[in-house]
Amino acid sequence: MVDQKESIPPILRPDNVVAVSLRAIAERFDLAWVGDESDTELTGISMNTADLRRGDLFVAMPGLKTHGANFIQKAKDAGAVAVVTDREGAKLAQGMELPTLLLEHPRAHLGELAAFVYGNLPGTMPKLFATTGTNGKTSTSYLLEAMLRQLGEVTGLTSTAERHIAGEVIVSRLTTPESTEMNALLARMKEKGVTSAVLEVSAQALTQLRVDGIHFDVAAFTNLSHDHLDDYGDMETYFKAKLGLFTDGRAERAVVSLDSPYGARVAELANIPVVTLISHEGVDATYRVEILDEQPSHTAFKLIGPEGELVSRIPIIGAHMAANAGLAMVMLLQAGFAWPRLVESLSAGVNAYLPGRTERVTKDSGPDVYVDFGHSPDAFLNTLAAVRKVTKGRVFMVFGADGDRDASKRPAMAQVAAEGCDVLVVTDHHPRFEDPASIRKTLVDAARDARPELEIYEVSPPEAAIRKAVALAKPGDAILWAGPGHQDYRDIRGVRTVYSARKEARDALAENGWK
């Protein structure tokens, strides 16, 4: 087992920061002083003492259990040189002897403060792209970044899986980090010469103000389906969280997929210019994706729009993945890249690697094994259809469900899995503090209700589950292992246990004699 704190990647900041005076912050945001005024200079900003560095401005905010001002002494000991807090925090800060500015509701202004501290001001930023939706955010982001590289851009990326900075690759903490970390990351990208950056934006990032202080050149909507109702309660609240990205305060223009019913609502309600995309017949849109060929090694497609037709391919299976690629291409057009450049650079294909997204781990022989990060009913539906399309034999599915996360989607996940495969293996994923046997029972019961005749196995732990599937499969069959994707750990009672689905799948193949 690995200590969770030790396994969390560090926050990335620029190597060199132009110091900003506390007085300049007071003037820019019209903040009152608590006590004497000060010309103190600072080189960073933090809301968490664990990530604080010498020279930082410490933003002390009210929390669910305690006020951040109770940690001002700890922040000072760690090197904080000034404080921003509200009236309640100012009372708690008395006697701490750090220059202090008064700001009510500091979280609501945290992103703008961080942008100012790191110099992320209008006219100084790379081209910024945002993708949001239930599924497809990461895939679209990786495909878009690959296209930008092929167009000659120096790229940055922040996604569920990784952070990229001009070729540097770092494992991610969160899908979208806190606004202080995000602005530090963007400042580092600028420092390293990044000209275009792609940001995956979750619903939580929007409602928790993590992308405040950032204005995107182009924002894209992939789809919306059942997920995260543990956070949002119902689909309408979840939808409104996503819709917040498509406002003039967040982005200049938008590209919206109409492949899910919510896309039309986004296009209607957005108050910024919108173009639309569809990947099936029967719906009018500005652009359309047409599938040309689906093979285990690639998916070929055509993007059709006002400028003409662009034929390309991606090194991953699935019509839904081709739709994501088409969405990325239209984002490039909306950002000002010319159609002839796209045709010249992308007609031979998109040179992309998508970690843990229907990633084929099979080598020379044996059944095809795909490891995928999907963990919602809609993700299962699309990915199973993609695997079925390129598989001559039986389709196996191995999956489990997250503990301490949206439990309402579990029966639907099991139903879709049962209806889309020939053999089902139910196992564990991140149990967290839930009983994994109870989670498995819910999944098995729902799968049996959906297809009583289906061959179903309940196998724990997942290391044994993938070996069970591989042992049953034959050449020509395919195994989709949904859930773990790129992740290199399992969360078991709050501890991150080292674990790789890709390695386990390859080992299972080798143990069964497949090269």
pLDDT exceeds 70 at position 97? yes
**122 in a structural domain:** no
For residue 2, count other CB atoms closer than 10 A to its CB. 13
Give pLDDT, residue 3. Answer: 39
My answer on whether 331 and 188 are in the same domain is yes
Q: End of a domain among 289, 321, 346?
A: 346
181 & 279 share domain: yes
pLDDT at residue number 2: 37
Same domain, 177 and 322: yes
Q: What is the mean pLDDT of the chain?
A: 93
User: pLDDT tens digit string along 18-31?
Assistant: 999 999 999 999 99
Cα 423 to its chain centre, rounded Å, is 30
Q: What CATH number does the domain containing 146 carry?
A: 3.40.1190.10
CB atoms within 10 A of CB 364: 7
Backbone dihedral angles phi then psi of residue 345, each to the nearest 5 degrees: -90, -25
State which amino acid sits at residue 301. F
By the 8 A CB rule, do 180 and 168 touch?
Answer: no
Whether residue 178 sits in one domain with residue 134: yes
Exposure string (b/e) for 77-107, b if CB count within 10 Å is 16 or more?
A: ebebbbbbbbeebbebbeebebbbbbbeebb
Residues 439 and 293 in one domain: no
Classify residue 133 by its DSSP letter. Answer: S
Last residue of a domain, one of 307, 323, 346: 346
Chain Cα centroid distance, residue 70: 32
Split into its structural domains, the chain has a count of 3
Residue 1 has pLDDT above 80, yes or no: no
The label of the residue with tokens 């967040």 reads 250
* 351 domain-assigned: no
Q: What domain range is 491 assigned to?
A: 359-511
220 shares a domain with 100: no
- Identify the pLDDT of residue 188: 96
Q: Is the pLDDT of residue 507 over 60?
A: yes
Asked whether the predicted pLDDT for residue 175 surpasses 70, the reply is no
Residue 197 banded pLDDT, cuts 50, 70, 90: very high
384 in the same domain as 281: no
- Measured CA to CA, the distance from residue 157 to residue 129 in angstroms comes to 9
* Rounded mean pLDDT, 90-106: 92
Same domain, 220 and 327: yes
Range in 331-335, 344-348, 369-373 with the lowest mean pLDDT: 369-373
Examine the fold and report which residue of 65, 91, 117 is the final residue of a domain before the chain moves on: 117
Q: Do residues 187 and 291 both lie within one domain?
A: yes
Task: Please give the full DSSP string across 194-210, using - where no structure is assigned.
Answer: -SEEEEE--HHHHHTTT
DSSP-assigned letter for residue 165:
E
pTM of the model: 0.90
Whether the CB-CB separation of 335 and 311 falls below 8 Å is answered with no
Q: Are residues 202 and 273 in the same domain?
A: yes
Same domain, residue pair 169 and 274: yes
CA 250 – CA 271 distance, rounded (Å): 10
Q: Which two tokens stand for residue 42?
A: 């600072």
